[in-house]
Structure 1
Amino acid sequence: MKALFTFVLLLTVTPLLLAMTPTDPPKEDQVRHIVIFKYKPGATEAQIKQVTDAFAALKGKVPGIVAFEHGVNNSPEGKNLGFTHVYQLTFKDAASRDAYLPHPDHKKFGELLGKLQVVEDVFVVDYATGK
């Protein structure tokens, strides 16, 4: 059952990832960090905006983040399993991504998520561009 869930989730995420191609060609050593949230049914638009704004602000606070994008699922396939909001960070390289994970501003973002209690589930995928 878990394997089936993973397979279906990958089938859902792949079109989202393909739809988020940047306008600039990727550099070989860049790393994309894709975070997909399933918000709780009671999450308000204001709370979701607060999360999105805080996520976007990380680009100006954490060295090595070269781009931030976000969007809301609009696939007509209905296979998103309740995951609705996609956030993408592009890092200069793997070392920048690795430094982001324990960065104090990333930790503060996690604390905000814990305080708001609006995220039901999260799915994270990282990949190197051009490989």
Structure 2
Amino acid sequence: MITHCVFINYRADTTAKTKVAILDALLALRPRIDGLINIIVGNNMSPEGLDKGFSEGFIVTFRDVAARDQYLADEEHAKVGAAIVAAAEGGLDGILVYDLEH
């Protein structure tokens, strides 16, 4: 299994409507990708204060590397990714992506 973790530091002017649209588009990818097991979305809830501005994020679980790679190559995923980059503080600098294999 692959756990694909994405954390976002949104620009201060990013509206709640924009954030919801991004997450809706992300969730719409679920039926497009064979081997996409689950998507969890939410706000940072850690009391440690170590989030470095990454206030929201999502975790996608894939059956295997091939499913993850299909997701990464998907044209609708590219559109969601572009929307995230546009809404993130500093573009790509406002996004943290980390994949774990287990």
Q: Residues 62 and 105 of structure 1 are in contact (CA less than 8 Å); yes or no, is this contact kept in structure 2?
A: no
Under a length normalisation based on structure 1, what TM-score does the superposition of the two structures give?
0.69
Deviation of the 1:80 alpha carbon: 0.4
Q: Which runs of 4+ in 1 moved over 3 A?
A: 111-114
Counterpart CA distance in 1 for 2:101 and 2:9 is 24
Task: Indicate the structure whose relative CO is greater, using CA pairs within 8 Å and at least 6 residues apart.
Answer: 2
Name which of 23, 26, 41 aligns with 1:55: 26
- Report percent identity of matched pairs: 32
Name which of 10, 13, 16 aligns with 1:42: 13
Tell me the equivalent position of 2:3. Answer: 32
Q: Secondary structure at the match of 1:71?
A: strand
C-alpha root-mean-square deviation of aligned residues, in Å? 1.3
Does 2:51 align with 1:80?
Answer: yes
Tell me the equivalent position of 1:26. Answer: none
What 5-or-longer segments of structure 2 have no aligned partner? none
Under a length normalisation based on structure 2, what TM-score does the superposition of the two structures give?
0.87
Does 2:63 align with 1:92?
Answer: yes
Paired positions, count:
98
One-letter amino acid of the counterpart of residue 41, structure 1: A
Q: Residues 39 and 118 of structure 1 are in contact (CA less than 8 Å); yes or no, is this contact kept in structure 2?
A: yes
Counterpart CA distance in 2 for 1:86 and 1:112 is 14
Q: Secondary structure at the match of 2:18?
A: helix
Counterpart CA distance in 1 for 2:68 and 2:55 is 24
Deviation of the 1:111 alpha carbon: 3.5
Name which of 12, 15, 38 aligns with 1:67: 38
Counterpart CA distance in 1 for 2:42 and 2:71 is 21
Q: Which one has the largest radius of gyration?
A: 1
